Amino acid sequence: MEKQIFVFRRFAHRRNADASFDSICLACFLTVGSALIDDALQSLESGHRCEPWGLDSYRSAPGLSLRSRLPKESI
């Protein structure tokens, strides 16, 4: 099965080959968690807080066009 990616608000849900789902934060790009049912990811997403070190590394990357869209302060 080919991987599929679905975008929901601040998180992208990726369906894996084993039919599980990953939740990826679109602000810091960390994988928040995995679950067999995508609805189960909501509790993991609501508890997620971006780490400042992750945001700073994306802001400082040279030539990264996404850098301008990242929040100035940690979320």
pTM recorded for the entire structure: 0.60
> Confidence class of residue 61 from pLDDT cuts 50, 70 and 90?
low
Query: CB within 8 A of 19, min separation 6: which ones?
Result: 1, 36
Question: For residues 73 and 75, what is the distance between their CA atoms, to the nearest angstrom?
Answer: 6
| pLDDT one-digit tens code per residue, 8-58 | 578 888 999 999 999 999 888 889 999 998 788 988 998 898 877 655 665
